[in-house]
Amino acid sequence: MSRPAIPAEIRRAVLVEAGHRCAIPRCGQTELDVHHIIPWETCQKHEYFNLIALCPICHRRAHNGEIDRKSLQQYKENLSREFNKNDSGIFEAEIVEIRRRITESNEEIPSYTFQFDFPDFQKAVERIISRNIEAWGYELLTEFREMQDNYIDYPRDESDPELGGPPPKSTLVGTYDVLRRDQKIISVRYNIDRYYTGAAHGGRTTRVQNFIARPFRPVTIESLIGSGNSLSDFATFIRQSLAQERRYDPEWLARGTAPRFENFSIFNIEKYGILFTFSEYQIDCFAAGEQHLRLSFHELKTVCDENVINELASYDL
C-alpha cells in the first residue's frame, strides 16, 4: 500500500514535544525527520506515541540498529517529562486577556495585517496544547507571507480614482472558541477570516484543533476511525446520517462525503459526541453555508475505533 503523509497535527505535536531538536540526548540538531519507533512496515499507521523527532544522522543510526527500539521508546517517554519540567512559560506572542495574540503588519505594497489569537492554558499538562496551537499559528503566518510574496502588482491608472492608489490591504484574522475543556479533552474551533489583495472578496474557513490532554496526543480523523475500520464504511455512515437530517442533492452529498480523510477532518469533540462541519460547497450550495452533523459517541462506535471513542467519552462531571 502507498504510504500516506503524517497528518500535520501529529507531525507538529512530535516536533513541539522535542523542542524542534533531535530527541537523542546531547545531540540537539535542528534539521529533523520524524521516525517510526515501530517501523512503518510493521505498524502501517502514524500514531503520536510511536513517532519521535530525530536528526538525519540519528535517524540513519536508528534504521541501522545502532540506536535500538527500547532506547528510542525511553527517549520518547523522557520528552514529555522534560517538557513540563523545563518549559519556561514564556511565549513569543503578547498576552491578550486570557489569550495570546500573534500579530504582524507590513505597509509595503502589497500591505497586510495578520492577527491570530490562541488560548493560554496555564496548567502544566495543558501547556503543550497551547504550544501546539501557537506553532500552527506561525505556520499560518508563513503561508500568509508566501501568498503576499507571490502577489503580482499590476500597473494601475493613477488618473482614475477607482483604479489608482495603492491596492487594498490583505488581512488574516484567526479567532477561536473552546468547545470542550476538561481533565481529558480540549477541543478548539477556529474561524479564519482572510482577504488577499486583488481578490474579488474575502472568505472564512473553519479549522479545528482536538487534543487528549492525559496522556497528551492530537486527535485526527485518521486516529478517530482507526486502522481496524473502513474509511468507506465511515463515509457511508456519515452520508446516511446527513440524509436523515435534511434533503441534500444526491450528487453534492456523494461528492462531499467521498471516502477521503480530508472530507471529515473538521470535527470538534463535545461532551456527549462529535460535531462534524462541512464547508460551503462541500455538500450544499454556498448560500446554504456550512453544514453540521452532531453524532453521539454511542452512534460512532460502529464505524470508529471503539477504544478511542471510549476515551473521548470519559470526562469529569
Looking at the fold, whether 110 and 28 belong to one and the same domain comes out as no
Residue ending a domain, among 86, 105, 130, is 86
CB within 8 Å of 256: residues ≥ 6 apart: 263, 278, 282, 283
> Does 1 reside within a domain?
no
Convert the pLDDT of each residue in 236-295 to its tens digit.
999 999 999 889 999 999 999 999 999 999 999 999 999 999 998 999 988 888 999 999
Looking at the fold, whether 98 and 187 belong to one and the same domain comes out as yes
Domain that holds residue 241: 221-313
Question: With a threshold of 0.85, does the pTM exceed it?
Answer: no
CB within 8 Å of 290: residues ≥ 6 apart: 206, 277, 278, 279, 280
Low-confidence ranges of the chain (pLDDT < 70): 1, 84-89, 94-97, 152-166, 315-317
> Does 99 reside within a domain?
yes
Helical H segments across 115-230, by residue range = 124-149, 221-225
Looking at the fold, whether 184 and 143 belong to one and the same domain comes out as yes
Looking at the fold, whether 253 and 296 belong to one and the same domain comes out as yes
Count of domains observed in the chain: 3
Looking at the fold, whether 98 and 82 belong to one and the same domain comes out as no
Looking at the fold, whether 66 and 113 belong to one and the same domain comes out as no
Looking at the fold, whether 196 and 98 belong to one and the same domain comes out as yes
Looking at the fold, whether 46 and 103 belong to one and the same domain comes out as no
Looking at the fold, whether 61 and 139 belong to one and the same domain comes out as no
